A and B are shown apart, each in its own frame.
Chain A
């Protein structure tokens, strides 16, 4: 596949939300490779007027939410997504942060609450299971999902996580991963998108998915 930078520029309207956690370098570089400039920012004005938001994340839900709340970004992100209807893509922990809450150890931490889903620890369902789930795993998806347009079913994506997103709504189970249990690999809910895997670390498979997201919105 050939990517050109000439016709896809969005003039810094892609905002990668900076709250001090996440593999921002790789995400921004992938966007650039696909021909898109992006801005790493925690500035409310830029976030509220962006065309696309990306929420990265590595590490613990609790410390991420604390940083987001300390910077008052929770209010800003909710306004941007719910009122201004800006499409947002959460990656890995970023996807989990979009949910209502996470149960880490015994205490629950409130999330951004942008989708009716929550985050729990991967279940210890088998004596051979390795948690964290680290590596490439195939993803099965509904062909009509816009994120996976043009991708062959069951291709692999890179996962690195100990928690998973769960929901009572079956609309969230249109792209799932099988690892001694079925869990949500990606979801699309109006303008809120999430991927549990790292598209920026999944070779051509992930680049195509990122491009689908950017072209769709």
Chain B
């Protein structure tokens, strides 16, 4: 049986990790801070996957980002998906060479789907996660690209159809309304996006409490992700995992001794 996954999403910008609230960023510390103050590498034992996104709003230092990716890959033995600002196949080549197992792509699904086809024909569709930032409007969901700064003219349902047509292994749905609020996931989104039962779905945005993950994973989501460093680093991930197990949600079982 395929298990549900608990994912941590590290937001990175020019050497620092960030907190995001409704897409406004706040710098919190560098990789040493993450290691020393939050024992992140210990916490990663309670995770099933890590996503690292370069969320730099201006020119980003790609070498610093690669350095961070390699540090995370070296310190954990779970899949690492990497993204943020990917514009061409060569960016993907470099990320995969640096230890990324998958890449996360957002804006390019809208602006340059042909380039994504080049990536999937080289690495397979399982190597690509489509990240979609959306915001609730009255009767539909709007989709934003370029770090949430530009609204596109098609809605979430239509955008997902196009993304699946281009070819993708998984879809990361990030609610901009819930992002960083700690109020819980937008659990209902799965009911609004129609029939996409053959592509894995990762829900993101809004986790703030230990039991928010089980609220999502008891539904048909394949994975739930949080970028909320303050709420979950330390004991939070271990407690979240224990909560999932106590609620009989099927998550991976790891040998621990």
Task: Tell me the A residues contacting B by CB distance below 8 Å.
Answer: 1, 23-26, 29-30, 33, 58-60, 63, 127-138, 151-152, 154-156, 158, 160-162, 178-179, 198, 200-208
Contact = CB atoms under 8 A, between A and B. Distances in A.
Looking at A128, A131, A135, which has the most chain B CB atoms within 10 Å of its CB? A135
A135 B3 contact: yes
A162 B252 contact: no
Interface of B is mostly: loop
Contact of A133 (B2, B77, B124): B2
24 contacts: A23-B96, A23-B100, A24-B97, A25-B98, A58-B101, A59-B127, A128-B197, A130-B198, A134-B169, A135-B222, A135-B223, A136-B2, A136-B3, A137-B3, A138-B1, A156-B3, A160-B79, A160-B102, A160-B126, A179-B2, A200-B77, A201-B79, A203-B78, A203-B254
B253 A155 contact: yes
Interface of A is mostly: mixed
Given A160-B101, A178-B1, A198-B101, 9 more contacts: A134-B169, A137-B3, A156-B254, A158-B78, A161-B126, A162-B124, A203-B255, A204-B45, A204-B257
A48 B169 CA distance: 37
Looking at B3, B97, B198, B255, which has the most chain A CB atoms within 10 Å of its CB? B255
B3 A151 contact: no
Nearest to B254: A203
A135 B3 CA distance: 7
Looking at A23, A155, A161, A202, which has the most chain B CB atoms within 10 Å of its CB? A23
B57 to A, nearest CB: 28
Interface string B246-257: 000001111111
A154 B253 contact: yes
A131 B164 CA distance: 12
Contacts of A152: 255
A132 B100 CA distance: 18
B179 interface: no
A179 B1 CA distance: 6
Contacts, number: 123
Given A25-B70, A131-B198, A136-B5, A204 B99 contact: no
Interface residues of B, number: 42
Contacts of B257: 1, 204
Contact of A58 (B123, B251, B256): B123
A134 B127 contact: no
A205 B254 contact: yes
Contacts of A33: 77
Contacts of B222: 130, 134-135
Interface in B38-95: 45, 48, 70, 73-74, 77-80
Nearest to A204: B255
Nearest to A93: B124
A135 B170 CA distance: 11
B121 to A, nearest CB: 8
Contact of A208 (B80, B199, B255): B255
Nearest to A207: B77
B2 to A, nearest CB: 5
B255 to A, nearest CB: 5
B26 to A, nearest CB: 31
Nearest to B201: A130
